[in-house]
């Protein structure tokens, strides 16, 4: 045996072995990484945000809160919020389990920093002045109650008053059950306001984001002059199981996706988020609005 060998003939002494040098564990901040639901790749959250909340691997379009959407769409520092003093109430004193609707509203307001599920105001998109309404899917799933319907109706009327194009970004789980029939009334109210915009010769573009469903789909979301869907967006009225049970029929694969609806003529175009600002500006110029 070589003289410099460390092997011994005696019993193994575990205490003599220190093992590999231990590296100090580095703390990794929470929220740095996220998983894409489509391609399942782990993504650096900052990179996704810089890519307009679109997966750089497979182009999956993530949902965007209202303020983030305005930052993406409007020219920098041009958005002027309107009707922010309209606040939700609890007209039915709705309760379920041990929680009231009023409590749920306060929870959602604290979580999102929003008073309700949409923002409305005036802005510029590539230098074109528009009336802008943006729904927030993080606030009670973007459901439409009395305040959402009122703010949407008012921004439509503002578009008529100022003779500017109207752009609404829809993202909603439907009418808000906590307000009963009052929420369903917003379908007729927003539709009537859009009729006035049409009579005035105004231009209305609706961006159908994921998801756009229920009473929003059955009213202002599908009444646009130009219906622009985002790639992969779920767009429909009732859920797939409800439709299947009602029709007693097997439904086509992906029948509520933006791509399927484009083939059937229910939407006018599918526009990736990176091209949305330019496409809206092009449509305004084309319509000379």
- Residue 249 confidence (pLDDT): 83
Q: Which helix (H) or strand (E) holds 204?
A: strand 204-212
- What pLDDT sits at residue 188? 97
User: Which pLDDT value is given to residue 110?
Assistant: 96
Q: What is the pLDDT of residue 286?
A: 96
pLDDT of 13-37, one tens digit each?
444 444 445 545 455 456 799 999 9
User: 11: Cβ–Cβ under 8 A, 6 or more apart, which residues?
Assistant: none
Q: Token pair of 116, please? A: 């309700």
pLDDT at 108: 96
Torsion of CA 85, 190, 65, 139, to 10 degrees: 70
* The two three-digit tokens of residue 206, written as one number: 């609706």
Q: Tell me whether strands 80-81 and 33-35 are parallel, antiparallel or unpaired.
A: unpaired
| Residue 14 confidence (pLDDT) | 45
Q: What is the pLDDT of residue 67?
A: 97
Report CA-CA distances (Å) from 178 to 92, 105, 213. 8, 10, 17
Distance CA 17, CA 4 (A): 17
Q: With a cut of 70, which residues of the chain have pLDDT below it?
A: 1-30
Pairing of strands 166-172, 42-44: unpaired
pLDDT for 30: 62
Main-chain dihedrals φ then ψ at residue 128, nearest 5 degrees: -100, 125
Domains and CATH numbers, the chain: 31-62 (no CATH), 63-286 (3.90.226.10)
pLDDT in tens, 208-219: 999 999 999 999
Q: 178, 112, 120, 109: which is closest to 149 by C-alpha?
A: 120
Exposure string over 128-139, b if 16+ CB within 10 A, otherwise e: bbbbbbbbbbbb
């Amino acid at each position: 045996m070589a003289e410099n060998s460390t092997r011994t003939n005696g019993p193994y002494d575990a205490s003599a072995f220190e093992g590999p040098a231990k590296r100090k564990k580095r703390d990794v901040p929470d929220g740095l990484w996220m998983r894409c639901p489509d391609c399942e790749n782990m993504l650096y959250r900052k990179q996704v945000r810089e890519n307009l909340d679109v997966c750089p691997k497979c182009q999956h379009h993530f949902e965007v809160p209202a303020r983030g959407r305005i930052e993406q769409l409007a020219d920098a520092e041009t958005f002027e919020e309107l009707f922010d003093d309209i606040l939700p109430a609890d007209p039915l004193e709705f309760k379920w389990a041990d929680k009231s609707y009023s409590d749920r509203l306060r929870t959602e307001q604290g979580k999102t920093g929003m008073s309700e599920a949409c923002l409305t105001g005036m802005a510029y998109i590539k230098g074109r002045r528009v009336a802008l309404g943006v729904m927030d899917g993080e606030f009670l799933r973007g459901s439409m109650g009395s305040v959402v319907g009122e703010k949407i109706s008012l921004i439509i009327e503002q578009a008529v008053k100022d003779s500017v194009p109207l752009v609404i970004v829809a993202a909603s789980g439907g009418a808000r059950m906590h307000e009963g029939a009052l929420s369903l009334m917003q379908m007729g109210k927003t539709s009537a306001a859009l009729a006035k915009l049409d009579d005035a010769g105004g231009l209305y573009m609706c961006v159908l984001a994921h998801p756009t469903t229920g009473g929003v789909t059955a009213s202002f979301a599908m009444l646009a002059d130009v219906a622009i869907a985002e790639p992969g967006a779920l767009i429909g009225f009732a859920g797939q199981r409800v439709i299947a049970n009602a029709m007693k029929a097997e439904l086509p694969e992906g029948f509520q996706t933006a791509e399927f609806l484009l083939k059937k003529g229910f939407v006018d175009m599918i526009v990736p988020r990176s091209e949305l600002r330019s496409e809206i500006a092009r449509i305004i110029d084309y319509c000379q609005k």
